[in-house]
Amino acid sequence: MAKKQNIVSGGAVHVCTPNHLAEVIYASVVAEALQAVCALNMGMQTRALVSAKWLANMLKRNPVGPSLRILDTSWYLPSMKRDGKKEFAQTHIPGASFFDIDECADRTSKFDHMLPSEESFADYVGDLGIGTDSHVVVYDASDFGAFTCTRVWWMFRLFGHPQVSVLNGGFRNWVKEGHPVEGTYTRPEPARFTATTKHRSSWVKSFEDITKNITDQEFQVVDVRPYARFRGKEPEPREGVKPGHIPGSKCMPFFSFVDNDGMMLSTEELKKFFEKSKVDLNKPICGSCGSGVTACHLVLAAHLCGAPEEASVYDGSWYEWFTKAPPEHVVSEAESKL
């Protein structure tokens, strides 16, 4: 006679035979596997780019809530003389919240908006009403059509949330197409968000990684700052930092990933840009810029092109590199680091 065992479930005690116990365990394993597959499919089905028309139609059917969150990620260099947070308070896409890349960062670092810890990111976005099942749409109000939003898109993906999209053309195109805006803000109810970089640590490169790569050449370093800054011909926007580039790196200016209307180039156009820049999409790529923000344009572009391996980001980028690297590792056509 089969021996019976007690199983506690939901506060109740159930008496099961070994066969029944095996069935229960099997069902539990299958359920967990299906849940993981569904989560994966959800991420795969989330488009990296969404149009203003698509978002406007979504807002007509369902207002912003736990299933859909919109983030204005606007941030500007001091030389641009704009304040993203103040502009958001005046006008933004209905239902949007403001994501501050300087607040959601490692506040102990001397370098700008370095990545926060998993716990800090989870707390920050959870306070914006973003949960594990939320589809997040990010945009900024820059004249480029995309400036900081790709950084936040990348951050969500890095911390294990693939259900995130960039609004193609940004706020600039949203307004141009005549979609509604508002100047009021109602803080959403906090949500539970789980952040983890497990299995994605290779997406972030450190100063040590870049230094080692000068010799090892394990990945291509691509700088997205303007050519003149890359070559050392024009000044950097940060005081005390001179222009130039990392030895062996290539240049693909971030604004060249979008057209004159601020819309992301087509996949075919992006592939041609990579080819023209002599960057192989079939080999590992690491993006760099001034402080790790627009480097994420490169990540998005490679993703749209179907690169077999996710491009990484040098989080400290040129600001950190110039500060730490020896003079021989600061390549410039102008004066030396000394």
Catalytic positions, please? 289
DSSP string, 26-39: HHHHHHHHHHHHHH
What type of residue is 25? I
Q: For residues 107, 111, 113 and 119, what is the CA-based torsion angle, rounded to 10 degrees?
A: -40
Q: How far is CA 320 from CA 110, 166, 248, in A?
A: 9, 27, 17
Tokens of 218: 């394990």
The CA R_g of the chain, rounded to the nearest whole Å, is 23
Tokens of 127: 């306070």
The contacts found for 82-87 with CB under 8 angstroms, 24 or more apart, are 84/140, 84/141, 84/148, 87/141
Of the candidates 258, 197, 201, 200, the residue with the CA atom closest to the CA atom of residue 224: 258
Q: How far is CA 249 from CA 213, 302, 333, in A?
A: 10, 17, 14
Distance CA 89, CA 39 (A): 34
